[in-house]
Chain A
Amino acid sequence: MKRSYRYCLYIIIGILIVLPAFFLERNVEKLTVSANNLVIPYVHKNDIIVQSLNIKCKKTNKLGVRFATYVNSKKNSGYLTIKLINSKNDEILYEENVDVTELKDNQFFTISSKDEINSKSGEYYLEINAKNIGKETNLGIYGSYTKENEAILNKVKSNYSLAISYLDRTDSKQLLIYFVFYILIICMVECLRENKNERIKK
């Protein structure tokens, strides 16, 4: 193949490799803090947990909380009220009564707000109200022990933060790594082709 054709082909393939990195957007699930510790081992009846949202993304409308339901516990009953509130005007953006028997052990329960929220500096908070859960309900919530953005349990500041998952819409610049491999492979091809051509000439 002529060198000019070959180089044209390289450029076309290169553009095809690079394009998705600039045009594809995707949702990545992130966590406010690590969700490995059961920071609230048992939610008691009438507990009210407030967690300010410190979300590092432009906008999101899906939030998740990781619950422990103690699989073998047969006594879970009642409803947990989850609210998403704007702290500036106390507007409730989302409210749901969640049947605790529907929560799955060690999995995130996801809520979807109608409007997208931007809570980089904590304008929004989640309120989990256990007023309507059964007395013998065994329910825990995951999070991390930290001194930043602590949750408030029954109006008392705690030493932990609940792990809130959220969807972050992000670009796909990481795909440019393929272009790096592509350039290196082209260099390799050209390097070895040169050898071959020289051998043919000789």
Chain B
Amino acid sequence: MKIISKMNNIKNYQKIIICVITAILIAVMNFFYYNYQCLKISDAEKNYVIDLKNIEVDNIKLNDNYLKTSNENANFKIDFHYKYIRNLIIKYKSKEAFNLNLNAELANKYGILKENEREDECYSFTNISAFAFNRKAGIIEFSINKPDVVIESVTVDNSLYFNWQTFAFWFIIVELILVILFYHEYFTKKIHVLAFILCMAFGLIFLICSHNMISVANDDETHYSYYSSLITNDFYTLSDYYSQSCIAPFSWQDTIIEKNEYQKFLNKSAEDELEDSNGNRAKNVFLLETNKLNYLPIALILKICSLLNINFTTRFMIGKLVHLIIYAVVIMFAVKKIPTLKVLTLVIALLPQTVFLASNYSYDPIVTGFLLLAFAAFVDEYHNKKAKIKLSNVLIFILAGLFGIFPKAVYSPFLLLMLLLPKEKFDNKKQYIIFKLLIIGIFIASMMTFILPFIMDSSSVNDVRGGNVDALEQMRLILRNPISFARVFYDQILLNIANRLVGPSTFGLLSYYGGMDNDVSYLLILISIVLGLICEKKYSNIKTSHRIFIFLMILITMSFVWGSMYLAFTPLGEDVINGVQPRYFIPFLLPLLYALSTDKLKNKLDYQNVVLLCSIFIIISYSLLIYGKIISVYCL
């Protein structure tokens, strides 16, 4: 700790020099790590095309310059004679998609050849399939499951390159640690700035290292179609169409080469309009509806980008970046506003799952972020019981709360928190009663945004992704069998509630990449939450009846979440509730822990050290998670 406190005393120009030297070191190490094999080999072996004339083929017509498959069991073999291959690039042409399977002899870490199987899905609109091996290879057998596929060339690419994704990862992580160590006294006083910096840093890593343009987060293509609805009007552009519905299978672009090729294709096709026909379902989106309002800001940004003729992929990334910035700013204000449990708020706002989704197009971070801000405004009022109520806090609570609740009206009971404000905060009883009535009025109006569409047209709430769903029939079934439904509900909540609230899939599920298990990255976040809860020096004085009120509010809202998914997403008559995602429970964490906090808890923890420790724990947790799930699999 002495060393750390000394780091604060280093002069600013020295800190900058250390950061620059570290960045240069990372760049050099990154270059040599990914190129040391390529530097050893001769120029002739750096980049060469395999002669297709002298290879072993089966069910393939051998021509002068290319191979053509004859049926669905075509394969060919190439012997690489134990030579190093970093990337193997296959150029093809096909009228339809096909699978390219590789059975390859690849050297393990001891240099012994072992059999490996690789698979790639090849599409007709791009003409490159690439495999990143980074090791020596023996015989590789290629199998193709479609006739009339033309293989134009097989190229070994061993040229020198700079891996920007791994550089960005290490650069951001190391510099972040340095900055926190250099300025930890400042960050202890300004935790909200720390929250903003950490959120932007991790979000940028996700943005840079996500191997795929779209479909890395759940339902991203659907969300993107809403965001782009101001551009597309009655038509999708061809790029929108491909990125949303045709391709974007998660595992497809598993190399940088393929990703670049796909991006070229999208930018080239962005101007072409696809005629209104099959699959064109996202038109007629009305962004002024309450449940679509959250899409409007980024939809406007994308529209402006479109008017400025910014190309498709850049526009796409700008949309993601703005989404991330909105979330980072909102949580920064939430941490700034809340008068107690600031560290806990920071840790919850920075849960990897939420930051990951914020760097994609999912709307869940908007819900989480704005509800955190609303809760912070409530705590600011509740914590200072003697001070008179501030109009600004009430407006922040209502406006941020409503913006967070509109996409998912089931969170409406959140608004009732304001009923807990004591009478002493108001000048007279009349005002106190009017205030409470208005809060109840806003709550009822908010619930109506969910209930009215269901009453007027029950099919409008059905989510066809759930299968044979029918909300009205499900409701009738519940009313006919209330006890059976109560048992279903009881089983689901009782068995799942703990895991949904503080399980690894709540903290660190990175959608299709997978997520945390009960591993170090999960435990570090859990420890940070505990530290954030117990390190506080000025807890709120919460009445027991108010604690019970908050617990009930959380329980009722959770029931709404489960109930809505049972009606809208679960097939008729099932005795399980489908589609309830752990991320839906993140907004409950802070209110729940706030209700559990007590001023009877005394501690001698040094606040500054806890802030530093939690920040480092979060950084390590993110590093382990991102390296294990994204970098080591998709960025090499």
Contact = CB atoms under 8 A, between A and B. Distances in A.
The answer to whether A and B belong to the same complex is yes
A36 B445 contact: no
Interface stretch (B310-318, B370-378, B462-470, B524-532): B462-470
A174 B441 CA distance: 18
Contacts of A103: 278
Interface stretch (A8-16, A22-30, A125-133, A149-157): A22-30
B445 A177 contact: yes
B427 A191 contact: no
Nearest to A107: B279
A20 interface: yes
B388 A195 contact: yes
B442 interface: yes
B290 interface: yes
A35 B441 CA distance: 37
Given A36-B468, A110-B280, A185-B395, 4 more contacts: A28-B286, A181-B445, A181-B446, A188-B394
A26 B462 CA distance: 21
A173 to B, nearest CB: 11
A187 interface: yes
Given A37-B468, A195-B388, A184 B441 contact: yes
Interface in B261-283: 276-281, 283
Contacts of A193: 391
A120 interface: no
Contact of B438 (A28, A37, A104, A187): A187
B495 interface: no
Interface residues of A, number: 40
Contact of A107 (B278, B442, B448): B278
Interface of B: 276-281, 283-284, 286, 288-290, 388-389, 391, 394-395, 398-399, 402, 426-427, 431, 434-435, 438, 441-442, 445-446, 448-449, 459, 462, 464, 467-470
Interface string A78-114: 0000000000000000000000001110011110100
Contacts of A148: none
Interface of A: 20, 24, 26-29, 31, 34-37, 102-104, 107-110, 112, 167, 172, 174-175, 177-178, 180-181, 184-185, 187-189, 191-196, 198-199
Contact of B426 (A110, A180, A195): A195
A116 B399 CA distance: 43
B278 A188 contact: no
B391 A29 contact: no
Contact of A29 (B284, B399, B467): B284
Contacts of A192: 389, 391, 394, 431, 435
Given A36-B470, A192-B435, A108 B278 contact: yes
A26 B283 CA distance: 11
B276 A189 contact: no
